[in-house]
Every structure is written in C-alpha cells, then in structure tokens.
C-alpha cells in the first residue's frame, strides 16, 4: 500500500471518530496494511474505549514495537493492564512512560498530531495508584509527593486528593486519556490529497511571429540574440546573523509566529528560549521552531578574506548524533521498513512477552531451546546473556520458576493463545556498578537528552554510552554527558 493510500485511510478513520462512528473508524484502521506506531496507537485507544482489553494490549504492543520511545503508548498500555488487574505489568509500563520523559515536566504531542500533553505528575499519580493496589503504600506516598513537586499549576488538584487517600490507605481514580483523542495525519499532507487541475482548459492561440504558421497551446516566441555561452555561476551562500543549524525533522507551524522547515534545511538560530523554542531565520523569514528539531552545523563560510577559526578543545567531545523519542509525521516510512516492526498478527508462531525494567515482546517459533530464547532476549536488551536470569509462572500456580534447559518442555506447555509471559532479571554481582563521580566543570544541555549539572555536583553513573559519553543521574534527573567533564569520586565521599 502506498503512503498516499495509507494517509487517505488514516484521515477517513479520524473523520469517522469525529462523527461519533468509532466502529467504522476501527474497521478502516484495521484495513490499513502498513500500520505505523501512531496508527497502531489509535487502534489500541479505540479497543480500550470499547473495553476490548486483550485487543487493546496487542495494538499497544505493536505501537511500542514500532517506536520504543513513544511514552504515551506505554502510558495507555499501563492503563490497559490496570483495567485487566495485571498490576505488576501496569506498574512497569507507567515507570517506562515516566523514564521516557527524561526529567522533563511534560511531553506535548501536538506537533505529532495528538492534542494531548503527557505530564510527569500524572504519570506518577498512576504509579502511586498501582503501588497502592499492590500494597506498597510507602512507595505510593513517595511518588505522589514527587508528583506534587512536579505539577505545573493548580489544575492538578486531584493529586492532593490522591495523597489524602493514600494517607488513609484508600484507593483513588485512575488518570486516563480522554476518549476520542487520536493521532491525526499531517494536515498539510492531507491537503495535498485533493486533485488539482494545474493545466486548466486548453486554448488555441495564434503566433506573434508573422511567418509562423503554428497554432496550439502556446506560440513560438522571437529568438533571443547573444545567448550566453556559459551557464550562470551559482550564488555563494552569504553570511547570516546567528548560528547555523541543520533541520533534522519536518515541522509545520500551528501559529503565525512559527516557521515551516523541512529536513536538510539550514536555519540560523538567533536566540534559544528557556521553553526549548528557538527564534530562527530561514529564506529571509523569521519565526519559531522547536530547538530539539535542530542540530548545530559546522560550516566554512566562503568570503574574499580568510576566516579565522578558533581552535577546538579536543578534550570536550562533540554531541552524539541521536534520534529524539518520537518523530514527526514524515519520518515513519523509514521505521516501518524494519523487520521488527511487522504486524505480530501475521506471525504464526508464539509472542513472548518479557517483563524487565520495562516490557518487551519478541516473536519466536514454539519449541525453541533455552539458549535460543536467552540469546534473543539478550540481543533485544543489549545485555550479556550470562547476566540474565529468566523465570516463568507454572501452570495453575503464581510461583515463578527459574528456567533451565530441562524446564523447556514445561515452559512451552504453558503457552496460551500463542502467548508466553517471562520475567527477566540481571544477576546483581554482574551488573554495572552504580559508580559515583564528581563534576569537574558545569555542563548545560544542548538537547533534551543531556544531563545538566554544576561544577562539584555528585553524579551517579547508570551506564556507559560509549568511550566519550556516559548516562547518569543528578538532582533527580537522568541524562547523558561527556565523560571528560567528571572524575572518579573517592570512596570516603
């Protein structure tokens, strides 16, 4: 199916929802052959609104499988698990949604077509509720206190009521996304679906050249004398005010102050605001674009005089090239090509759901040996197989048994409806130690993934990204930072 066909069906399904015909919308969505993460999310929401929880879970599995950074999909699957009373799975999904916020107070999905803001305080609200369902009242209270500190304004008064309920060891309502909110296709792409008559009606005209007997769509024109023998020399890029940046993702404006840009455009950033919006110049027009849609560009400007370039400090590595949590419309075509993003409904084998610090799903043919399953999970989690321990729930019991080669027959016998649930943990003595380091210099973020800290701050190392970058936690926030900005902390500190 072509992109145009997918876009037309997507737009038609959303229109059905707006006309209060969700059944027709669901039917149209299901008929789309190449479902991207947003379409799979929409299908999950429609099933969830109909209380078809098993189908909703499968749809959100597909959405997360196609975009593992889509926090709102983890949030909705957490709601689905909660309604199925699978509280442990629900807790893992809400925690993963909070992790994808990367220390920010909210994610605004409006630029991606969903008129919804996912707030950190509301994710923590649901985490607290699930912990209360599991009898973890102290943890629930701690998360709700954190939610109070993160709430943006007084409209989140339900968090106060939730905290009062926790102190009395009572439950409180779950926060859900309002029914009818779906990812919409890009309105500029939809506008292009309408057929346009660029030629108009043909007219027979006569030539303005006396000796020309031609008649048709256009007359012959008098010949031009002294045609240049060499092509025009291309213009050299002139110097603009501001810092040059490359546009990474397509952005269409929603207000008159915003500026439309496409991937590959070069803009000049005049000012970056604290709200992550940048004032830029492009094609002699000035406007606002999200700063995390841009990447600094190193260019040598062509002038008649040599340009003095300041020496670069080799000790400070350049920022890594990486993709943000979710892509705007227009980049999904690349993601849907991956083998991992094919619909699980087309796979005739078994879907294995693995609960780790977050939940993943893999497809595998039934009857595979233990070593094959372990290696697939190891590759998916990017962790050594020797550090992983797998468990499964015995049939008719809640006991979780460690899987060994001799247990595989019983494991495969526990498969129900082509689905198998496993639990994965990492051997503690082989995990990367949470080393503490001290900041030698202050570091300000250039992208949302970066960790901000001041000179002298203590940072807990969570993982090693590569030889030049580390992931750590400082002042309650998680992000990456240059390894050369820190040094090891003495044990007595």
Domains of the chain: 3-187 (1.25.40.10), 243-296 (2.30.30.40), 347-430 (3.10.20.90), 436-488 (2.30.30.40)
The pLDDT of residue 5 is 82
Lowest-confidence range among 37-51, 78-92, 461-475?
461-475
pLDDT band at 324; cut points 50, 70, 90: very low
- Rounded CA-CA distance 107/326 in Å is 10
243: which DSSP letter? E
Rounded alpha-carbon distances, angstroms, from residue 303 to 27, 236, 239, 307:
60, 9, 9, 8
- Residues 112-125: what's their mean pLDDT? 92
- Rounded CA-CA distance 126/82 in Å is 10
The pLDDT of residue 54 is 94
Q: DSSP string covering 402-440, please?
A: E--GGGHHHHHHT-BTTEEEEEEEE-GGGSPP--EEEES
450: tokens are 């970066």
251 or 89, which is more confident? 89
Lowest-confidence range among 38-52, 245-259, 427-441?
427-441
6 or 211, which is more confident? 6
Return mean pLDDT, the chain: 77
Q: DSSP string covering 25-64, please?
A: HHHHHHH-SS--HHHHHHHHHHHHHTT-HHHHHHHHHHHH
pLDDT band at 28; cut points 50, 70, 90: very high
User: What residues are paired with 478 via a beta bridge?
Assistant: 473
- Rounded CA-CA distance 473/459 in Å is 6
Q: Which residues contact 288 (CB under 8 A, 6 or more apart)?
A: 257, 258, 259, 277, 278, 279, 280
The pLDDT of residue 79 is 96
Rounded alpha-carbon distances, angstroms, from residue 382 to 55, 97, 285, 432:
29, 20, 45, 13
pLDDT band at 236; cut points 50, 70, 90: very low
pLDDT band at 194; cut points 50, 70, 90: low
Most confident of 60-64, 108-112, 268-272, 388-392: 60-64
The pLDDT of residue 223 is 55
Q: Which residues contact 273 (CB under 8 A, 6 or more apart)?
A: 279
- Residue 327 pLDDT > 70: no
- Residue 414 pLDDT > 80: yes
Q: DSSP string covering 278-293, please?
A: EEEEETTEEEEEEGGG
Q: Using N-to-C axis directions, what is the helix angle for 71-83 and 37-49, rounded to 10°?
A: 30
213 or 302, which is more confident? 213
Quick count: other Cβ atoms within 10 Å of Cβ 81? 24
Q: Which residues contact 97 (CB under 8 A, 6 or more apart)?
A: 71, 72, 74, 75, 78, 118, 123
The pLDDT of residue 309 is 40
239 or 151, which is more confident? 151
The pLDDT of residue 29 is 92
User: Ramachandran region of residue 429, left (φ > 0), alpha (ψ -120 to 50) or beta?
Assistant: alpha
The answer to whether 384 and 390 are in contact (CB under 8 A) is no
427 or 387, which is more confident? 387
339: nearest Cα among 21, 66, 8: 66
Q: DSSP string covering 333-393, please?
A: HHHTTSGGGS-GGG--SEEEEEESSSEEEEEE-TT--HHHHHHHHHHHHTS-GGGEEEEEE
Burial of 332 (0-12, 13-18, 19+ CB in 10 A): buried
The answer to whether 489 and 438 are in contact (CB under 8 A) is yes
- Residues 140-153: what's their mean pLDDT? 84
- Rounded CA-CA distance 171/137 in Å is 10
261: tokens are 């840009």
The pLDDT of residue 74 is 95
């Amino acid at each position: 199916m072509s992109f145009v066909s997918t876009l037309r069906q997507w737009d038609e399904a959303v229109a059905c929802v707006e006309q209060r015909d969700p059944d027709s919308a669901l039917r149209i969505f299901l008929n789309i052959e190449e479902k991207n993460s947003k379409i799979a999310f929409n299908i999950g929401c429609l099933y969830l609104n109909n209380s078809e929880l098993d189908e909703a879970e499968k749809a959100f599995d597909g959405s997360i499988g196609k975009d593992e950074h889509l926090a709102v999909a983890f949030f909705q699957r957490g709601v689905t698990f909660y309604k199925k009373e699978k509280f442990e799975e629900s807790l893992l999904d809400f925690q993963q949604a909070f992790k994808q916020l990367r220390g920010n107070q909210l994610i605004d999905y409006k630029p991606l077509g969903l008129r919804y803001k996912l707030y950190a305080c509301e994710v923590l609200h649901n985490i607290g509720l699930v912990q209360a369902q599991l009898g973890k009242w102290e943890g629930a209270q701690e998360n709700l206190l954190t939610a109070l500190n993160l709430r943006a304004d007084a409209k989140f008064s339900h968090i106060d009521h939730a905290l009062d309920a926790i102190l009395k060891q009572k439950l409180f309502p779950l926060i859900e996304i309002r029914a009818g909110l779906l990812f919409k296709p890009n309105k500029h792409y939809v506008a292009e679906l309408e057929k346009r008559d660029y030629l108009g009606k043909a007219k027979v005209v006569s030539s303005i050249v006396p000796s020309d007997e031609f008649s048709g769509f256009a007359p012959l024109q008098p010949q031009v004398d002294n045609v240049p023998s060499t092509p025009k020399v291309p213009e050299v890029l002139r110097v603009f005010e501001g810092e040059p940046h490359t546009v990474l993702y397509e952005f269409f404006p929603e207000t008159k102050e915003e500026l439309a840009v496409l991937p590959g455009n070069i803009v000049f950033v005049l000012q970056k605001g604290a709200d992550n919006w940048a004032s830029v110049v492009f094609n002699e027009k000035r406007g606002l674009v999200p700063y995390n849609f841009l990447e600094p560009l190193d260019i040598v400007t062509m002038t008649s005089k040599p340009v003095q370039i300041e020496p670069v400090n080799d000790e400070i590595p350049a920022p890594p090239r990486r993709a943000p949590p979710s892509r705007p419309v227009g980049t999904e075509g690349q993601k849907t090509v991956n083998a991992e993003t094919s619909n699980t409904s087309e796979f005739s084998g078994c879907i294995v759901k693995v609960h780790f610090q977050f939940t993943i799903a893999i497809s595998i043919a039934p009857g595979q040996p233990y070593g094959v399953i372990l290696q697939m999970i190891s590759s998916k989690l990017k962790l050594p197989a020797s550090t992983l321990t797998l468990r499964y729930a015995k049939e008719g019991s809640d006991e979780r048994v460690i899987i060994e080669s001799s247990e595989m027959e019983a494991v495969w016998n526990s498969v129900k409806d082509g689905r198998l649930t496993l639990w994965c943990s990492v051997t503690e003595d082989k995990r990367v130690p949470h080393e503490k380091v001290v900041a030698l210099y202050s570091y300000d973020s250039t992208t949302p993934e970066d960790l901000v800290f001041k000179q002298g701050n203590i940072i807990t190392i969570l993982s090693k990204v590569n030889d030049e970058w580390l992931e750590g936690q400082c002042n309650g926030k998680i992000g990456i930072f240059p390894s050369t900005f820190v040094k090891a902390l003495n044990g007595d500190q």
